[in-house]
Structure 1
């Protein structure tokens, strides 16, 4: 549903991850750049952005620890056509073969950089390398040319061989506070306050996921559809709920996004019922509907709905019939 968006600029524009940024800046400034790194974190945590920024800074002709973004090298990096920054790709979605590692890295690394100090290889989804591919790469990591820098990006560090892990510097990309994500969206992408609140909550600490949501028409449409259902679910006829289920079923691959938005809504209702405060609500712009549902629903009923949402996620992961799972969920939501 949401396309991936990578906004490369400089370290100063990266939100959160201060310890990782400090480590990489220090490595550049002191000249103690490792030959191999593992950037580890959840999807959308900013691994590609961090790796791309690091690579651009290493190759920058101004020799600073921040990429200048104006020299020929930086311009090539920004245009994704830098000959000495290579992103390893793979054809099969769930596997990186030994042939792909050999052709794109092992056989290429002995060729000296074209016009840079370093030759940098970025391997997204590195845990998808087959054991054979990892073992082949290990030899290069153990005895790299002086100019080689290999950066492995992964959401699953345990998918990498222990021998690979032990020879790389591991940098963990932790989630970013929602308030920082919201501020970034408002300041840099001019996202309105209300939408930034929703995007930041949906992103759950992932600045990349928040950017994707903020720039996606599909996400805005999904939010609109979910809110229509949630605001009117108590007044909707059975046939209208069936139609709503059919509409969601057309976007099954993103059903967890729908369920997450529903959880935010009912947590808002529960929080308002308990505190009568608006400031910490995700959907504060819909306060009239939230206030109405808080008065109509019991604490026990709201807890049951939140449990039903978690159960629905579990059922769908277990490949339970989609329509049945959603019908059971809506029946729970309809009960006062």
Structure 2
């Protein structure tokens, strides 16, 4: 756990939470809604740690502005929170991977919440993957949200707030995660992970404003291997014979579990080719270190051909999501790319 200062981006949400602490207007129930790895848990933990900080009153009193409100990191509660051992910050778990059951909510929340905090001002419950609560679980939680003890705070972390019952949504403060600007993520990756600018560009392009995903990509050997495999195939696809297509499809099949990333890499490549063909500008490219091959492909491809390839990639993704035969889909895609 770390304080708000350690969080990259999400200024509006942080400001909202710090104002709630400063003005003593903390809600009993929050929903933090955003994509996987987007920083939901970091925000929730920073908020919880701040609320449970033993020096909170002094911190608020001495804060020149709400943005100065941070956990002290020195008191017993903060140290416990940093190691996830704070007894009044409770992480709700679930045994079934795809479901949070009514029993999970009853045993870990409803039956526990009637017991006063062990050592702190609040008792804070964090429910990660909260969209996995079935209807019975949501109804059980609703009773607690409607009549919570004064010391209780529930934080629901979700990738899909629309999965909640309207009655839950109406009783919670919903905070929607927004994309973090690319330049901010790019600078962070280069400083923190010491990666070159062209590698940071690829990670940022794929992350689409998601800091956690960008960090994962920057430190992933698997992603770099996948990128190399994609680029190697694209560069030689024009020259391979039809009988070699089967072998190419087999190579792609080894990345079946990462096929969406595979497609995304191909999309980014052809987007770069299209951009360079239209502008001749290297600065806007994602694969800046591949400019020689991008230029060569741009010279040999027509605008309509590149558009056809991008459309074929979109159709292939749709077909795979609809469980159309993998080998057939990929062979058709590679033939379309080769022809255009």
State TM-score, norm by structure 1: 0.93
Q: Which residue of 2 aligns with 1:66?
A: 70
Q: Which residue of 2 aligns with 1:242?
A: 246
1:125 is aligned, of 123, 126, 129, to: 129
In structure 1, C-alpha distance between the alignment counterparts of 2:6 and 2:271, rounded to whole Å = 32
Query: Does residue 91 of the first structure (1) align with residue 95 of the second (2)?
Result: yes
Q: Deviations over 1:222-268 (max 9, x none)?
A: 11211221222223344654334223323323210110111001000
The DSSP-based 3-state class of the residue aligned with 1:96 is: coil
The DSSP-based 3-state class of the residue aligned with 1:176 is: coil
The DSSP-based 3-state class of the residue aligned with 2:156 is: strand
Query: Does residue 20 of the first structure (1) align with residue 24 of the second (2)?
Result: no
Q: Which residue of 2 aligns with 1:49?
A: 42
Structure 1, 243-252 or 257-266: larger mean CA deviation:
243-252
Query: Does residue 198 of the first structure (1) align with residue 205 of the second (2)?
Result: no
Q: 1:247 to 1:89 in 2, by over 3 A?
A: farther
Q: Which residue of 2 aligns with 1:156?
A: 160
Q: Which residue of 2 aligns with 1:3?
A: none
Q: 1:227 to 1:10 in 2, by over 3 A?
A: farther
Q: Give the drift of 1:18.
A: 1.3
Q: Which residue of 1 aligns with 2:171?
A: 167
Q: Which residue of 2 aligns with 1:4?
A: none
What number of residue pairs does the alignment pair up?
329
In structure 2, C-alpha distance between the alignment counterparts of 1:188 and 1:58, rounded to whole Å = 29
In structure 1, C-alpha distance between the alignment counterparts of 2:169 and 2:21, rounded to whole Å = 22
Q: Which residue of 2 aligns with 1:222?
A: 226
Q: Which residue of 2 aligns with 1:322?
A: 326
Q: Deviations over 1:267-299 (max 9, x none)?
A: 000000000001111101100010000001110
Native 8 Å contact 2:28 2:153 kept in 1: yes
The DSSP-based 3-state class of the residue aligned with 1:308 is: helix
Q: Which residue of 1 aligns with 2:114?
A: 110
In structure 2, C-alpha distance between the alignment counterparts of 1:214 and 1:152, rounded to whole Å = 28
Q: Which residue of 2 aligns with 1:9?
A: 2
> Which stretches in structure 1 are left out of the alignment for 5+ residues?
1-7
Q: 1:316 to 1:235 in 2, by over 3 A?
A: same
Larger Rg: 2
Q: Which residue of 1 aligns with 2:64?
A: none
Query: Does residue 284 of the first structure (1) align with residue 288 of the second (2)?
Result: yes
In structure 2, C-alpha distance between the alignment counterparts of 1:257 and 1:149, rounded to whole Å = 38
The DSSP-based 3-state class of the residue aligned with 2:271 is: helix
Q: Which residue of 1 aligns with 2:278?
A: 274
In structure 2, C-alpha distance between the alignment counterparts of 1:310 and 1:152, rounded to whole Å = 34
Q: 1:322 to 1:36 in 2, by over 3 A?
A: same
> Which stretches in structure 2 are left out of the alignment for 5+ residues?
60-68
The DSSP-based 3-state class of the residue aligned with 2:149 is: coil
State TM-score, norm by structure 2: 0.92
Aligned-pair Cα RMSD in Å: 1.6
